[in-house]
Structure 1
Amino acid sequence: MNRREFLQLCGAFTLSAQVGNLVCAVDGMATATGGTPLFSRTRLAMGTFVTITIAGASQTQAEQAAGLAFATIERLSRVFNEFDPATPLSVLNQQGSLKDAPPELTACLRLGAACHRQTGGAFDPTVKPVLDMFRRNGADTDVSRLPLELIGYDMVEVRKNAVTLPRSGMGLTLNGSAKGFIADRAGEAMEQCGVSNYLLDAGGDIRARGSKYTASRAMPWRVAITDPRPQKDRLAVLELHNQCLATSGGYEVFFDREKTHHHIIDPRTGDSPRHSLGTSVVADSLTQADALATAAMVMVPRQAAQCLRQARTRAWLVEKNGVVTV
């Protein structure tokens, strides 16, 4: 089977995991130079490999914190996995409404609504009907019949513990925010165990807190962003301290032979953006970075840059014509 089929078999967040390789492995994962070895564990979760690295903690404390983080990821994956028909998100998409919705689902949807407003509608999880049409039909998709009338996140009703999709056929895909949301909750679980220095790498989506240690001093976590342009290496090497990094791109998974339609959908047109190769965003939370990176892909670069400046983020926008805006 190919990589896409394998990730679908693994479960949740398949398409967002496809672009995780835009972020390279963290520099110095195994040990802190000259100091105490870093604790590190890797598991397959959310359709990708998740690595947790902890510094400045005892083996017992690190084991407990990492175990709780992975348990949190597993629990929340059973909420957000849209490929499992039994999850609350899938039930919502099937039935059009959900009573007694898990608080994590409503919290993620509210954060998505805030990003929807912040980006002028560019971030919109209701593109699922269009995405599903491309998934089913691939190159044979009739773009003149895309169900654009079902797109509009402002139509989604989120109450205290209930969610309603008012139009028949509407659906939500949370590939642009759920992985970041789950990673944030996993990080918070580690912090409740007293761990304050860690790096959580969820297939290239990074949550960094505190520092890693050498024999003499604390050092920030270092992460390299891969340049999505052909024959390029690193776009940037970042030092992260209490920050998160997410990357979105649309050059690995295509639904047509011409490679014009991929898993990122412009909610205004139902088309895939054709001006950008990838966007990397550094923000305070991984939920925000994840959603903003997705939204920036569907905006024209100038509009995306303005939006990201207003959000007070650091970002790298790579256009197909080779222009990079930082």
Structure 2
Amino acid sequence: MKRIYYFAFFLILLTLVGCDQAAKETKMQEVLLQGKTMGTTFTIKVFVPEQRVQELSLFSDVTSLLKDVNQSMSTYIPDSEINQFNRLAAHQNFPISEDFRRVTAESIRIGLSTKTLDVTMGPLIDLWGFGPDNRPETIPSDEVIAEIKQHIGVDKLKLSEQGLMKTVEGLEISYSATAKGFGIDKVAEYLDSLSLTNYMVEIGGEIRTSGHKPNNVPWVLAIEQPDSEPGTREFHKLIRVNDIAMATSGDYRIFYDVDGVHYSHLIHPETGKPVRQDLVSVTVLNASAMTADGLATALTVMGTEQAKQYAEQHNLAVYLISKTPKGLETYASNAFKPYL
């Protein structure tokens, strides 16, 4: 009987040695991909088995994929899918691609849930000078705002198996709060399909990670300090993550002042005016970069107290930085605390 035990132990030992040897033979090479997309830049770090590096066409595949997303959802491309829809009259069904459907469905879901993210607010954003047009010469009147609000609202979008329809004339959509995150998700799905599971994908500051660096070193992401000096970017906090996306939104980078009044690029759908909140930075962690991206914007518009309530109610991993008379104060939801 002892010989049987010794033999079994020997087989296990051989198996462990073989696995260790195979691991040593599978050397990983870091591949860095960088370029421009969606009016910003992207950086991708992916660890690839050395023997597969030459067989893959990662850069051309990724840039082609992101080009398709941009062609579908950029309002700066005249014949994009989104602009074709925006030019349609009301009550006309518009067949849409699967990618467009995914972004539309999630944008509507977040909008109806939060009441503070509205992808149809393009005309209001333009009115306040945060779109392609310059800052307005005069602050928009309540009458002009009320007129535009008649033609906005995610509740005026009808998504069906046949496509997408607007129920009022003049309604337009913009996926500036979700398309960038979706592009990140698409790249992540592509890498997953190649069985490449250790990577970091970043587009315009939004990030999604998978796995880890060599030797099980986690990915370290930075939350920016919102009151850093203009032209500089300081780290507020570093967090260690894996298999998660991170998006940050705030009113500390895009704004202007008129007669001593601060006007943020974040517009509240109910008032039609830029928010003047105490909440200056929101970071959201989520499995989907698209969802994190949209929620970060929605929570910023809410303000501190409402954002806290929404985060806890929906078990969201959220980190808030608020401006108070005593200086900046921070808040981490219960779901976020494990990452600190």
TM-score by length of 2: 0.79
- Cα deviation for residue 236 of structure 1 reads 1.4
Change (3 A) 1:180 1:259: farther
Task: Name the residue aligned to 1:41.
Answer: 33
Matched, 1:116 2:111: yes
Kept in 2, the 8 Å contact 1:65–1:189? The answer is: no
Matches within 5 A, 1:160-171: 160-171=161-172
Q: Which residue of 2 aligns with 1:92?
A: 85
Aligned partners of 1:42, 1:62: CA distance in 2, in Å? 19
**1:264, distance to aligned residue in structure 2 (A):** 1.6
Among residues 246, 269, 272, which one is paired with 2:271 in the alignment? 269
The amino acid of 2:126's aligned partner reads D
Deviation at 1:313, TM superposition (A): 2.6
Task: State whether structure 2 residue 219 is matched by structure 1 residue 221.
Answer: yes
Q: Which residue of 1 aligns with 2:188?
A: 187
- Which one-letter code corresponds to 1:103 in the other structure? E
Equivalent of 1:52 in 23, 28, 44: 44
Q: 1:70 Cα deviation (Å)? A: 2.4
- The runs of at least 4 consecutive aligned structure 1 residues that moved more than 6 Å come to none
Tell me the TM-score normalized by structure 1: 0.82
81-90 or 164-173: bigger deviation: 164-173
The answer to whether the 8 A contact 2:264-2:276 is kept is no
1:199 and 2:200 matched: yes
**Which position in structure 2 is the counterpart of 1:324?**
330
Residues 15-54 of structure 1: CA deviation (Å, up to 9, x unaligned):
xxxxxxxxxxxxxxxxxxxx95521110011111101101
Q: What is the alpha-carbon distance in structure 2 between the residues aligned to residue 80 and residue 189 of structure 1?
A: 19
Which residue number in structure 2 is paired with residue 71 of structure 1?
A: 64
Query: Structure 1 stretches of 5 or more lacking a match?
Result: 1-34
* Identity among equivalent pairs (%): 23
* 2: CA distance, partners of 1:62 / 1:298: 46
Could you report, residue by residue, the CA deviation over 1:260-290 in whole angstroms, capped at 9, with x for unpaired residues? 3332211111112221222111111101100
Residue 314 and residue 176 in structure 1: after superposition, are their counterparts in 2 closer, same or farther (change >3 A)? same
1:133 aligns to what?
Answer: 127
State the partner residue of 2:335: none
Q: Which moved more, 1:80-89 or 1:233-242?
A: 233-242
Aligned partner of 2:262 in structure 1 is: 260
RMSD: 2.1
Verify the 8 A CA contact 1:103 1:161 in the aligned structure 2.
no
Aligned AA for 2:264? H
Shift of 1:78: 0.2
Task: Indicate whether 1:234 and 2:235 are aligned.
Answer: yes
Code of the residue aligned with 2:39 in structure 1: it is: G
Find the residue that maps to 1:179 and give its secondary structure.
helix
SS at match of 2:121: helix
Q: State how far apart, in whole Å, the 2-side matches of 1:62 and 1:235 are.
A: 40
- Counterpart residue type for residue 76 of structure 1: V
Distance change >3 Å, CA 324–CA 154, structure 1 → 2? same
Consecutive unaligned residues of structure 2, counting only runs of 5 or more, are 1-26, 333-340
Q: Distance in 2 between matches of 1:164 and 1:240?
A: 39
Q: Which has the higher contact order (CA 8 A, sep 6+)?
A: 1
